Amino acid sequence: MGDAYDIKSILKILPHRYPFVMVDRILELDKGERVLALKNVTINEPFFQGHFPGDPIMPGVMILEAMGQAGGVLFWASLPPEKRMLPLYFVGLDKAKFRKPVRPGDQLTLDLRIINQRLTAVRMAGRATVDGQLVAEAEMLAATGDNR
């Protein structure tokens, strides 16, 4: 079993803040290989006000964002320490599929594995599940950059 991170540790790595932090806990992280993370989905999420009143469903793009943020923590941890101060960007998405709706009260489990990594970019395969059932999957590309 790899490293675990609580929300305080996650907030030191990710630049995201409320209401856009989509990862609550890292359960396992094996540098250069895999991350297993949790997102607790609550009715208090701002997107549920409009998606959809009377039948709240987590937007697919928010599930992908949660996967991307979990993958960002994995990529950050897998970089050499001198590269960790560079910003990380979600730069590509392939093979995205949505299988089942995610609703308030669900616990979204995010499982990302590195397909290949270079010093400045990584491709990951991601799966999101609720209670062991696949709800979404995608391949994601992230890169380091300097936005100055």
Residues acting as catalytic residues: 51
Using CA atoms, how far apart are residues 45 and 32, in angstroms rounded to an integer?
Answer: 31
C-alpha–C-alpha distance, residues 145 and 148, integer Å: 9
With contact defined as beta carbons under 8 Å apart, do 141 and 92 qualify? yes
Q: Could you tell me the two tokens for 51?
A: 């998606």
Sign of the four-CA dihedral 13, 2, 81, 88: negative
3-class SS at 20? coil
- 34 near 113, Cβ under 8 Å? yes
Number of other CB atoms surrounding residue 59 within 10 Å: 16
The full length of the chain comes to 148
- Block residue for tokens 């998405």: 93
